[in-house]
Structure 1
Amino acid sequence: MIPPGILISAPSSGTGKTTLMLGLLAALKAQGVNVQPFKSGPDYIDPAFHTAASGRASFNLDSWSMDRTRIDGLTGNAAGADLILAEGSMGLFDGVAVPGACGNGASADVAALMGWPVVLVLDVSGAAQSVAATALGFKLMRPDVTLAGVVLNRVASPRHDTLVRVGMAQVGVTVLGSLPRRTAIEMPERHLGLVQAGEQENLPQLLAEAAAFVAEHVDIAAIRAAAAGTMTDAPPPAKIPPPGGRIALAQDNAFAFVYPHLLAGWRAAGAEILPFSPLADEAPDASADVCWLPGGYPELHAGKLAAAAQFRTGLQSFAQTKPVHGECGGYMAMGAGIIDKEGVRHKMAGLLGLETSFAKRKMHLGYRKADLNAAIPGHDARARLRGHEFHYATIVTEPDAPLAHITDSNDLDVPETGSVRTFEGGGRATGTFFHMIAEAP
């Protein structure tokens, strides 16, 4: 059976969604409640924090790139849990201009599709009764989205709390909690958002503090009571065509951005995943059918990767006869070199001619559509993929044959086409700047 759910959202980024989400997950786990987390949208980092806080793998649900069957199948991972908690991205109604598979990528789409009421986190600093107007607007914006109530964040004093609650009572919005100003449990950030869960040495302590903070100031029982949902029966695990039967997967702090639903879907289809660490100078398992280099932060570890001779020669040898595919950071590491923010060039694997630089940052952000010119592991030429790109690398040169025709969510051409190179032994190197989410419906 699929349990009822709640979606945690806000009017914008930086309002406190993640603090509330992690605090709720950790507090409920401490109470013995089995909670299944999800993340609305294409965020790469939050699901790992959800998993650490809840003890269950968190999955992305995305209305722009995924059709309803895929979303339902992923929701099936909640079977056996007591409650679903989903975290939104950006503001509740924020999405792209042109809808995709079953929405425009807004968290409100997922809430409406799944019947999950919304708990809205409101930053009330600098205002009092006026915040109620914001809450009322969110309550009325979409009739198919139910507002369960609000959690007030960054409350200055008991008097401030009382004034805000007066406004909420006037518009009929339930206050489910009131969080005072506090910075001790806010997660450190860098240019792609939060620092990765695997890099947080004090993560258990942060989660324990978040749990205590939320348990003290939020009506957790009322949030549980507000949960609802349209799904009751669990569909079978969603299978995704794997890139190979045995997949050598780079996994460490330089290569950590791979969508959890892909790994689960590959395993459900019978694939075996063989992790290795380029930062530990490990080469891909020679018995694997394919090597997959996920995204991450290779630019922060460029010197160490350049010195990882066993990794580099092992990867080069593997690529002579078998396919190697990289996404974003993995693609950069497959290239000829990375220039770090100080302007120092570091030699990379050289499977492709790509050169990237972080000396002059340029943000690349948004959904991507790709019509493949050549096959990548798991997908034939002419396959149509949907994904998401987010990085600050400047492309110095991308000289190899273009892997795909790539457009954004408005069907405008994107110049970063990805690359493909074939080797005499039959191997092939392919890479993209976007992270694949799903084949186009």
Structure 2
Amino acid sequence: MSAPGLLIAAPRSSSGKTTVALALMRALTRRGLRVRAAKCGPDYIDPAFHQAATGRPSFNLDSFAMVPPLLDTLARATTADADLVIAEGSMGLFDGVRAAESRTGANADIAARYGWPVVLVVDVSGAAQSAAAVALGCRLYDPRVTIAGVILNKVASARHRRLVEAGMARAGLPVLGALMRDAQLVLPERHLGLVQAGETADLEARLDRLADLAAAGIDLDAVVAAAAGAVPDVRGALPPPPGQRIAVARDAAFSFLYPHLETGWRMAGAELIPFSPLEDEPPSSDCDVCWLPGGYPELYAGRLAGAATFLEGLRVFARTRPIHGECGGYMVLGRSLEDAEGVTHPMADLLPVATSYHRRKLHLGYRVARLSGDGLLGRRGTRLIGHEFHYASELSPSAPEPDALAHVTDAEGSDLGFAGHRVGTVSGSFFHLIAQDPA
């Protein structure tokens, strides 16, 4: 038997899903329940908050980027040794790409696949009874999905709550609770989302405050009773490691490495050896691979440029062993990085790449990559699924096919050309790897 689950979703982004999900996770954990969390879609920040709230790891579940065996394996691992699974959605409940049903990347795919009822978070600021019409539309839009009830967020007053509840009653939607409008509930953000869990001041106190509000304003017994569903007993292979001993950059500038990748690497017997570029640490000389994840190097460009031991350590490592950089890691492997103020800082100069955060442009979406040559990510022709989410611009020319990392399309097959670079043992791109696609 797998633990029952719930999906915390919303009609749109910025409705308060993370606030409500963390409040429920911490409140139910404090009750003694073994709560496991998951994040729907490509998000590398929220799982760390989930782990802080529950004390247990949180995996991403992505119906577009993950083939069903991998998806079920991660979902099954999430239900292990748990009393309840709370999955947090991303964007709106039905927002995804145009693809075959159940493979759109939408939160609804996950709820439908595992029979997890949806608790709909509705931001009622600026609306009263009309909020019920939106919630009713969510209940009727997809017959695969069950709406267990709604939690009202940003309620202005007791009168406002009564009006909203009247509309929900007319629509036949149970109200499981409400949170009042309170600016102190908002977690600090920056350009890629929430400030990371490890950097959020007084995180434990904030989580306990959310749990207190959930206990006071949400019917926790009703929430637990609404949980349902089951996950198939599948134990497939997780993504293989790129090496045996992997030097992984890990600090405030480099932290965007998906939990399921780390878990898969360790389960395959690999060792992850962390080092901090911000502390001017080089990759360990006894590792056979170096991995620079994404993160926020643009916020620390001057400090990284002055980390001479780190930069020289990368160059020495690259003479004999492979290095791969994703997004922020790719930027640091390049020749230069222009910060928000327009100041250009020299980087490792291992790839012919110049990037700029001063000339900002949002790049966001799934990416399907076909590798141009053999390397850490696989053999030439291997098909990978991932995504991009960054504001940095690439000022240098794109690499031609022999020197590019991969040929890339978006989720709907639109050709985006060649992306990234490969020079000797060093490779990188703005592409964040999620999974290999056997197609």
CA-CA distance at 1:269 after TM superposition: 1.1
Aligned residue number for residue 425 of structure 1: none
Alignment of 1:29-178 (within 5 A): 29-77=29-77, 78-99=79-100, 102-178=102-178
Aligned residue number for residue 340 of structure 1: 339
CA-CA distance at 1:185 after TM superposition: 2.0
Aligned residue number for residue 190 of structure 2: 190
Return 197-206 or 34-43, whichever deviates more: 197-206
Aligned residue number for residue 205 of structure 1: 205
Aligned residue number for residue 311 of structure 1: 310
Aligned residue type for 1:37: A
Alignment of 1:200-349 (within 5 A): 200-231=200-231, 233=233, 235-236=234-235, 238-349=237-348
CA distance in 2, matches of 1:288, 1:176: 51
Unaligned runs of 5+ in 2: none
Q: Give the length in aligned residue pairs.
A: 434
CA distance in 1, matches of 2:307, 2:374: 29
Are the equivalent residues in 2 in contact too, given 1:3–1:232 (CA < 8 A)? no
CA distance in 1, matches of 2:164, 2:143: 25
CA distance in 2, matches of 1:64, 1:128: 35
Are the equivalent residues in 2 in contact too, given 1:64–1:99 (CA < 8 A)? no
CA distance in 2, matches of 1:416, 1:264: 30
Return 273-282 or 376-385, whichever deviates more: 376-385
Secondary structure of the residue aligned to 2:256 is coil
Are the equivalent residues in 1 in contact too, given 2:70–2:238 (CA < 8 A)? no
CA-CA distance at 1:166 after TM superposition: 1.1
CA-CA distance at 1:201 after TM superposition: 2.3
Are the equivalent residues in 1 in contact too, given 2:70–2:236 (CA < 8 A)? no
CA-CA distance at 1:289 after TM superposition: 1.2
Are the equivalent residues in 1 in contact too, given 2:69–2:236 (CA < 8 A)? no
Secondary structure of the residue aligned to 2:340 is coil
CA distance in 2, matches of 1:99, 1:415: 24
Aligned residue number for residue 417 of structure 1: 419
Aligned residue number for residue 376 of structure 1: 375
CA distance in 1, matches of 2:32, 2:397: 52
Post-superposition Cα deviations, 1:115-144, rounded to whole Å, max 9, x if no partner, equal 100000001112111111111111111111
Are the equivalent residues in 2 in contact too, given 1:248–1:273 (CA < 8 A)? yes
Secondary structure of the residue aligned to 1:97 is coil
Are the equivalent residues in 2 in contact too, given 1:338–1:355 (CA < 8 A)? yes
CA-CA distance at 1:241 after TM superposition: 1.2
Aligned residue type for 2:228: A
Post-superposition Cα deviations, 1:344-365, rounded to whole Å, max 9, x if no partner, equal 0111111101100111101110
Secondary structure of the residue aligned to 1:414 is strand
CA distance in 2, matches of 1:207, 1:416: 43
CA-CA distance at 1:375 after TM superposition: 2.2
CA-CA distance at 1:191 after TM superposition: 1.0
Are the equivalent residues in 2 in contact too, given 1:398–1:419 (CA < 8 A)? no
2:19 is aligned with 1:19: yes
Secondary structure of the residue aligned to 1:165 is helix
TM-score scaled to structure 1, two decimals? Answer: 0.96
CA distance in 1, matches of 2:11, 2:209: 25
Post-superposition Cα deviations, 1:145-203, rounded to whole Å, max 9, x if no partner, equal 00000001111111111111111111111100111111112111111111111111211
CA-CA distance at 1:295 after TM superposition: 0.2
Secondary structure of the residue aligned to 1:406 is strand
CA distance in 2, matches of 1:129, 1:135: 10
TM-score scaled to structure 2, two decimals? Answer: 0.97
CA distance in 2, matches of 1:123, 1:378: 41
Post-superposition Cα deviations, 1:242-269, rounded to whole Å, max 9, x if no partner, equal 1001111111110000111000011111
Aligned residue type for 2:395: V
2:397 is aligned with 1:439: no
Runs of 4+ in 1 over 6 A off after TM superposition: none
Aligned residue type for 1:421: V
CA-CA distance at 1:399 after TM superposition: 5.5
Are the equivalent residues in 2 in contact too, given 1:416–1:433 (CA < 8 A)? no
CA-CA distance at 1:98 after TM superposition: 3.2
Aligned residue type for 1:218: I
CA distance in 1, matches of 2:10, 2:290: 39
CA-CA distance at 1:376 after TM superposition: 2.7
CA distance in 2, matches of 1:358, 1:325: 21
Tell me: CA distance 1:219–1:237, structure 2 relative to 1, closer, same or farther (3 Å).
farther
Secondary structure of the residue aligned to 2:319 is helix
